Structure 1
Amino acid sequence: MENNTNKKTNNNISTENKTNADESKKKKIRFISKDSIKDLAIWLTVSLGLFLILEYLSRKSSFEKVQLFIKDNTYATVINILLILGITGIIFFFKHKKAVLWIISFLILGLGIVSRMILEFRGMPVAFMDLYALQDGLSIASRFINAKMIMIAIVIIAFFVIGLVFMWKLDKKSQRFNGISNIIAWVLSILVFVVSIGPIKAKGIMHNIGWDVQAAYELNGFVYSILDSYFGYLRKPPEGYSKEAIAKIREEVDKKAAEDKRTIKKGKDVPNVVMVQLEGFMDPTKIPNVNLSIDPLPNFRKLAEKNTSGYMNVPTTGGGTARTEFEVITGNNFDNLLSGEIPYTSIVKEKTSNSLATALKKQGFTAHALHNFKGNFYNRNKGFKNLGYDTFTSVEYMNGLEYTALNWPKDYVLTDYMKKALDSTKGKDFITTVSVQGHSSYPMEKVNEDYPCKITGNIDEKYKNQLYYYCEQVREMDEFVKQFNDMLLQRKKETGEDTIVLYYGDHMPYLDYLYDGEEYLNRYKSPYTYFATFDIPKEENAITDSFQAGTELLKLGGVEYGPIEKLHAYLRNDKDYLKKVQLVEYDILFGEKYYLKDNEIQKKNTIKMGIDDIKINSAKAKGDILTVEGQNFTARSFVCLNEKMLETKMESPSKLTAKLNGELKKGDTITVKQLGDHDAELSSIKEFKIK
């Protein structure tokens, strides 16, 4: 019996030793093995496949363009493949390699698909800076996403989950490390990239094109471009930046300013200065192979024939309104900023900077901004504040709104609110107005049969439908231009005040006909012209770039230049003009502000939301309904009782009703808040106390 027991014990020990030996053998890391060769092959194949798919997506599903990229941009091709290898190579540190690779691949491809969708909607791919405007993008996503897209997304997510479960099971018996050779291969891919990228960039083979994001992606490849849009966020002083260099530029500017014989208007002769940015505005009669039954732009065309007009280079196409807006307002060249940057969400979100508003306020102007869309979209409420504006009237402060078939606010309403801005002060006013009516997307199905401008021509029906809708929007925008001009002429008769206006388009509209295949028109040029209630000279080729627009506006109006406008006015023909602009721009936006004199530096600023004062005159409760009467309420006015927001309905601009959750008591406080996008508070009025 004892011998049998010993036998069993010995057998158990032998089995345990064998198991330990097997586990020890299993845990031993080899330099290379069959499994490591398989892992290496999967890694290389998937990474190469990801590269090809991403480039295919970013080049609008054109294999021909992918082939040309690989052939003509060999260095960029290698760099992008190395980057993908570097990202996917982390699988060698996981046991479930296939599952991790599946997750990484889906994330990368998901980014590529999203970028392609955004490219279709606005003409520019995704960049790191879009994260700063993610909420804004999601808030208008419903205008672009349809049921078919949602169904496709659900199918893709289901496919991902099923595939992940399958891959996880495949890796059930895998080891964390199958071979040192794979780790070495991964490290080598990173080292080759690090060693190569510097010389390649130094030779200009791969470089950033700040004003043309899509061109940068096509030149440099998708993965590199999207990562570069992040690392470029770490700003560095431009070559040659120093206190002495900036002082020399300012000395040169001041010397030429002293020699300028330009007539500057004084006193009552100084005009109000207005800039009107027209969303997605262009001349549809310039589109080839298309016939229009009427001219949709008779008023703009009449202005262009009489006054200085033309086309200026803008830093965006199809979308990215705030980029052109920022160039015009500040005089800064977007070439010196980051790919896809939205300055309101990055540069002037938290800090002040100089602009036309700050320059004209030094001369006694009051600065107003108007926009018939959401006040905190693109962080405009913070951006305008930090650029020196005194008031900002966004759609949350407007009544009398009309809407397009796609629910964009029409521009007619802007005339009334620009008049209110002009009438709100006794002195001179500077107004920046940003319209929204012409915003994309443009429907491929006909939305109305009664638009007066009919479209004919040898183009697809879907393109005709887009043009049909678009032409109606620009026709009404053109009527708005006339409406505003007529108001200014009438106002001059009543007040004697002169006004000069710059009208310009922010970017080319994203019409598929202009972006699919052949490029019919320059995608980075927008029309501009002027109107004035007094005689202004007509000049040829006055503006080449949108960052020069403000300078030309002040020149034609006989208004004194600000410090940035002086730079453009006096050094524009200098051979090193753009380099000097770059140095001064960096100095003012990110540097030590050596260029600015003490009284020119923008200090902390306050801004009033809306022109009209919102007031509460009385508050009464009947049953569970609270009625608040007052002045200048809008659809975005919300009643708050003791700081708690109530369900509110605007009955009229002088009356709000809200649903109470209990009785109204003596000492309760009522206020009205204006809420913007995502129900963010834009402003709140003084509390009204129940007596």
Structure 2
Amino acid sequence: MKKVSRGQRKQTKRFSLHSNSFKQVVKELSKTLVSGLVVAVASNFLLQFFQNQFNFEVAWLFMTEWHIELFILGIGVLMMLYIWFTSLIGNRYIGAFLIILISIILGISTQQKMLLREEPMYPSDFSMITNLPFLVKMMSNTIFLIVLILLIAISVSIFWLIKRARKGKKEKKSQHQKEVRGLRIGLFVLSSLSLIYIYAFNSPGNLVKAAYNDHAYWIPYSQEMNYYNNGFVGGFLYNLNVTPMEKPEKYSTEKMNQLLLKYEEKAKKINETRSKSLKDTNVIYVMSESFSDPTKLIDVKVSKDPMPILRQRMEKNKSGEILSEGYGGGTANIEFEALTGLSMEPFASNLSTPYTQIPSLMNHFPSAVSYFKDAGYSATAIHPYNTSMYKRKQVYQELGFDTFLDEKTMTYADTLEESPYISDHSAYQEVLLKLEETDETDFVHLVTMQNHMPYTDFYPETTFTAEGTADDLEAANYFQGLSYSDKALNQFLEELTTQEEKSIVVFWGDHLPSFYGEEVVTVNGKVAMHQTPLLIFSSEKEKQESLGTISPIYFMNHVLELANSPVSPYYAFLMTLEANLPAFEKGMYIETGEQESKLEREELSSETQQLLEEYDLLQYDITIGNRHAETANFFSSK
């Protein structure tokens, strides 16, 4: 028998060790990939299930028939996220738990947001995480209980699996530990680079975006349909790392100079008949949380009129309705439009909330704040809630407000009955106090909180009743809140008329509440569910004028007209646009003299389309263009 040398035995042993190490690495990699695939499929299905309001059939059909390719792409993204967590932590069970947990949180968030506001969960919504208790409070008890049970069940299951996997194992180092650690480091680096690349989804030439483009159907005017058609993962990626606007085809220095000169001349002509400076008139913006007129809605019955006093005042002053960008929410966007004169319509569809996505650009935007500051006003923002909502603290500073008063810094902070929110009456008292304290003329911007959802049990003794909504008890409490707001506003306006200083008040509701239900939304139509009352009041004189339905971007047009004060070239442009297109948002365009709204720009008159092209040029220049308008002093009336 042939004797094996010691060298051959060592070589054989080394080969055996290398072979076993390779097998162990392959085994670990296979386990990670297979478990990642299972977790990614389950997570993606959960996201579709929640997004479609717990409709198992629709989620199943999306996965197996309608959009198989998009579902597979979503699996790839989630699997990469699973590999990153697993390689970072070093435990597949914990990695699986985190991915499922994230999917449930995102799924419930988008389910609730779709239900209440008809829009999905955006990446920018993560800025609201500091207000988690406030967000949880808006969830129904049933949904909260389901989420809690799911989280407990998943936590217990993962804990049991980890304990079982470790049971009976002795504390000793694996002979393949070095190779397994190397695999883990390699997977971590690879998955990190992949996630960074995926994050750049909207960058030119991105291959992940290209893969989606082969199968996706992006809808610029409807984020809701983007998520439904392309899946939650596709819709979410579409909203990452947003470029605010695409460069208009005609944008150039020459074109901008022509445009700026055109409206400089228009402003001069308008100002020939404007004799008064605005220095002696306070201007107060009041954006009233969820204030709307329920008596207008078809198939909704209200036991009595919740806003009779406002209705009387609207008959004697400038009044009408605004076309709100949101339904059931979106307060910050309506506020953004009112303060800046910049509409959400020209922006990229995946720029969902300028306050949270582009706050650093706010100091470049024209605004009512900068106009009044240039005129020597003191500018104050008041919001009777915390400062972190929609990054208001940063945004107000960028816009140029001198002072921001919130729930912690307000002098008046009373609530009504069982409501946790500071009342409108207290908020108005705060405004009056500010007017008294300052030596300068004031611009005060108030965003109220009293009528914020949820409403159930706020006013146990209410005499209001409701019929036809998805939640009549909640509706009845909401109507009581409107009645309180109606009386508080009337008292505020009465007090202003007794003061020596003149004041102009722009009062409007930001959006309708979300409890009406799908049947009411369908029978009333999109426009009706986006209209809220508007009153422009002067303490000096009553001037009755029906404004019809207008967009918030036009408020300054009417303030300056009522005060007989000069306009900037920018406001001269907005006056021209309003004369042709008094109200518009994505998918809703109401031209002058038209009864019905149009769905797309292409349906509008050629003159209106041309004005919107000019608006695109201006808004792009202001936002991310060369800022010719800012350099040319386009926003000043001096």
Please give the TM-score of this superposition, normalised by the length of structure 1: 0.70
Question: Could you tell me which residue of structure 1 aligns to residue 405 of structure 2?
Answer: 393
1:454 is aligned to 2:451: no
The alpha carbon displacement at 1:54 in A equals: 0.8
Letter of the aligned partner of 1:558 in structure 2?
N
User: Which of structures 1 and 2 has the bigger CA Rg?
Assistant: 1
Give me the whole-angstrom Cα distance separating, in 2, the residues matched to 1:102 and 1:348. Answer: 36
Structure 1 residues 438 and 103: CA distance shift in structure 2, 3 A:
closer
Cα gap change, 1:255/1:411 in structure 2, threshold over 3 Å: closer, same or farther?
Answer: same
- Shift in Å, 1:434: 0.9
The residue number in structure 1 matching 2:552 is: 546
Indicate the SS of the match to 1:501: strand
Letter in 2 for 1:541: G
Deviation track 1:189-248 (CA, whole Å, cap 9, x = no partner) reads 999995573497599931454xx6544433442112222322226877555444333222
1:504 counterpart (508, 511, 518):
508
The residue number in structure 1 matching 2:19 is 25
1:58 is aligned to 51
Identify which range, 386-395 or 268-277, moves more after superposition: 268-277
CA 1:58 to 1:223, structure 2 compared with 1: closer, same or farther past 3 Å?
Answer: same
- Deviation of 1:64 (Å): 5.3
Structure 2 distance, partners of 1:286, 1:429, is 35
- Give runs of aligned pairs for residues 159-170 of structure 1, distance below 5 A: 159-164=157-162
Q: What SS does structure 1 have at the residue aligned with 2:517?
A: helix
The 3 A distance-change label for structure 1 pair 164 and 242 is farther
Q: 1:519 to 1:159 in 2, by over 3 A?
A: farther
Question: After the TM superposition, which residues 50-449 of structure 1 pair with which residues of structure 2 at under 5 Å, given as runs?
Answer: 50-63=43-56, 65-66=58-59, 77=71, 79-84=73-78, 87-88=81-82, 100-101=95-96, 103-117=98-112, 119=114, 124-138=119-133, 141=136, 148=145, 153-164=151-162, 195=207, 197-198=209-210, 205-209=217-221, 213-232=223-242, 237=247, 239-260=249-270, 263-267=273-277, 271-335=281-345, 336=347, 338-343=350-355, 346-348=358-360, 351=363, 353-404=365-416, 405-425=418-438, 428-443=441-456, 446=457, 448-449=459-460
Alignment identity in percent? 21
Q: In the TM superposition, what is the alpha-carbon distance from 1:488 to its structure 2 partner?
A: 2.4
In the superposition, the TM-score normalised over structure 2's length comes to 0.75
Deviations 1:505-555 (CA, angstroms, capped at 9, x unpaired): 112223263599967553544332332332435244351x33233334433
Letter matched to residue 121 of structure 2: V
Per-residue displacement from partner, 1:354-413 (whole Å, max 9, x unpaired)?
311211333344333222223454343332232122333333333343214231111002
The structure whose residues are more often strand, as a share, is 1
Q: What secondary structure does 1:499 align onto?
A: strand
**CA displacement 1:582-637 (0-9 Å, x = unmatched):** 332233244442112465679xxxxxxxxxxxxxxxxxxxxxxxxxxxxxxxxxxx
| Equivalent-residue separation in structure 2 for 1:505 and 1:331 (angstroms) | 17
Distance 1:548 1:199, change over 3 A: farther
Q: Could you tell which deviates more after superposition, 334-343 or 232-241?
A: 232-241
2:282 and 2:10 mapped to 1: Cα distance?
A: 93
Cα distance between partner residues in 1 of 2:224 and 2:405:
33
- Describe the SS at the equivalent of 1:412: helix
Structure-2 change in CA distance of 1:83 and 1:345 (3 Å): closer
Judge conservation of contact 2:383–2:448 (CA < 8 Å) in 1.
Answer: yes
1:49 and 2:42 correspond: yes
Change (3 A) 1:515 1:577: farther
SS at match of 1:541: strand
Is residue 468 from structure 1 mapped to residue 460 from structure 2 by the alignment?
no
Contact persistence 2:340–2:553 (CA under 8 A): yes
- Structure 1: which 5+ residue stretches go unaligned? 1-6, 178-183, 603-691
Letter in 2 for 1:56: F
Q: Aligned partners of 2:78, 2:218: CA distance in 1, in Å? A: 17
Contact 1:294 1:452 in 2 (8 A): no
2:564 match: 558
Give the secondary structure class of the aligned counterpart of 1:281.
coil
Relative distance call for 1:87 and 1:348 in structure 2 (3 A) is closer
**Relative contact order (alpha carbons < 8 A, sep ≥ 6): 1 or 2 greater?**
2
Cα deviation, residue 302, structure 1: 2.6
Residue 266 of structure 1 deviates from its aligned partner by 1.0
Aligned partners of 2:113 and 2:120 also within 8 Å: yes
Q: Structure 1 CA distance, aligned partners of 2:364 and 2:206?
A: 37
Tell me how large the CA RMSD over aligned residues is. 4.7
Find the aligned partners of 2:96 and 2:449 in 1 and give their Cα distance.
43
Alignment partner of 1:453: what SS? Answer: coil
Cα drift, residue 278 of structure 1: 0.6
Q: Which residue of 1 aligns with 2:629?
A: 595
Alpha-carbon deviations, 1:24-46, whole Å to 9, x = none?
33344799x99988876665554
Size of the alignment, in residue pairs? 577
SS of the equivalent of 1:479 reads: helix
Distance 1:320 1:271 in 2: 30
Could you list the per-position Cα deviations for residues 177-200 of structure 1 after superposition, in whole angstroms to 9, with x for gaps in the alignment? Answer: 8xxxxxx9xx99999995573497
Which of 462, 479, 488 does residue 480 from structure 1 map onto? 488
After TM superposition, the structure 1 stretch with the greater mean CA deviation from structure 2, 13-22 or 356-365, is 13-22
Which structure has greater helix proportion? 2
Name the SS of the counterpart of 2:545 in structure 1: coil
DSSP-derived class of the 1:274 partner = strand
- Which position in structure 2 is the counterpart of 1:575? 609
- Unaligned 5+ segments in structure 2 are 184-189, 581-607
